[in-house]
């Protein structure tokens, strides 16, 4: 899909994302994951700031998203939660930071949209400090055969409508990358993965 068309899809969904009520289980997942953030944080595909209620108050956040409408909503959320946050409206796959720039890198529900998710994982690995943390909450293909068949059948339509692939092999991508996994929790027939990781240095 053309990148501008993808951006337009997410711009149109900004208000829906802001008003969407996640169930308590999803909120606990975010809290459990984001509570481990420390120091200088990079959050990729920040959306409307769904993670903001769960950050420790002392962190400094650089929040990136390619959707201006999402960024506008996230700014309001950061102000509401009294967070120290700066915002970048930019194509995340084209962003460049110096190596070892961040203490924590956060990605929640973003790897469904990247054209080259492995390239993004390699960038994340480089951008994280040697003693840093990489925190993921990502969704993808289920380990349940019947569910995975349905996901594959619906994926072309869902991608056109929502800009989101539902068939990514998240754990497979992680294992192919330079990221080192410390801990994994998988939920919803292994469609959702919470991943605590760290970078591999000098790869």
Q: How far apart (Å, rounded) are the C-alpha atoms in residues 147 and 82? A: 41
With a pLDDT cut of 90, the percent of the chain lying above it is 85
Please write the tens of the pLDDT for every residue from 40-92: 999 999 999 999 999 999 999 999 999 999 999 999 999 999 999 999 999 99
Q: Taking Cα atoms as reference points, which of 187, 182, 194 lies closest to residue 35?
A: 194
Question: What is the chain's mean pLDDT, rounded?
Answer: 94
- CB neighbours of 133 closer than 8 A, spacing ≥ 6? 36, 37, 38, 103, 104, 105, 196, 197, 198
- The mean per-residue pLDDT over the stretch 141-153 comes to 97
- The mean per-residue pLDDT over the stretch 143-152 comes to 97
At residue 21, the pLDDT reads 65
Please write the tens of the pLDDT for every residue from 84-118: 999 999 999 999 999 999 999 999 999 999 999 99
- DSSP classification of residue 2: -
- pLDDT band per the 50, 70, 90 thresholds, residue 203: very low
From the centroid of its chain, how far is CA 43?
7
Place of tokens 């996994």: 181
Helix (H) or strand (E) holding 132: strand 128-139
Please write the tens of the pLDDT for every residue from 15-49: 888 777 678 889 999 999 999 999 999 999 999 99
Q: How far apart (Å, rounded) are the C-alpha atoms in residues 30 and 176? A: 25
Cα pseudo-dihedral 94, 159, 141, 112, rounded to 10: 20
Q: What angle do CA 82, 84, 87 make, to 5 degrees?
A: 115
3-state class percentages of the chain: helix first, strand second, coil last, to nearest 5 = 40, 25, 35
Q: Taking Cα atoms as reference points, which of 199, 171, 168 lies closest to residue 185?
A: 171
- pLDDT band per the 50, 70, 90 thresholds, residue 202: low
> pTM of this prediction?
0.94
From the centroid of its chain, how far is CA 72?
18
- The mean per-residue pLDDT over the stretch 184-192 comes to 97
Task: For the beta carbon of residue 105, count every other beta carbon within 10 angstroms.
Answer: 28
């Amino acid at each position: 899909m053309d990148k501008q068309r993808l951006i337009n899809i997410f711009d149109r969904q900004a208000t829906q994302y802001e008003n969407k009520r996640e169930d308590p289980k999803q909120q606990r997942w975010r809290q459990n994951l984001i509570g481990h953030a420390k120091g200088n944080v990079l959050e990729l595909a920040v959306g409307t700031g769904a993670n903001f209620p769960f950050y420790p108050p002392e962190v400094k956040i650089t929040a990136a998203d390619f959707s201006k409408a999402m960024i506008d909503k996230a700014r309001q959320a950061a102000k509401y939660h009294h967070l120290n946050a700066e915002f970048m409206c930019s194509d995340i796959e084209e962003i460049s930071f110096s190596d070892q720039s961040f203490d924590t890198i956060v990605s929640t529900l973003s790897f469904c949209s990247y054209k080259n998710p492995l390239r993004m994982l390699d960038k994340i690995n480089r951008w994280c400090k040697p003693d840093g943390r990489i925190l993921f909450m990502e969704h993808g293909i289920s380990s349940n055969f019947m569910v995975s068949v349905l996901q594959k059948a619906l994926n072309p339509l869902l991608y056109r409508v929502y800009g989101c692939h539902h068939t990514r092999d998240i754990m497979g991508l992680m294992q192919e990358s330079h990221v080192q996994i410390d801990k994994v929790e998988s939920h919803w027939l292994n469609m959702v993965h919470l991943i605590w990781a760290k970078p591999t240095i000098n790869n």
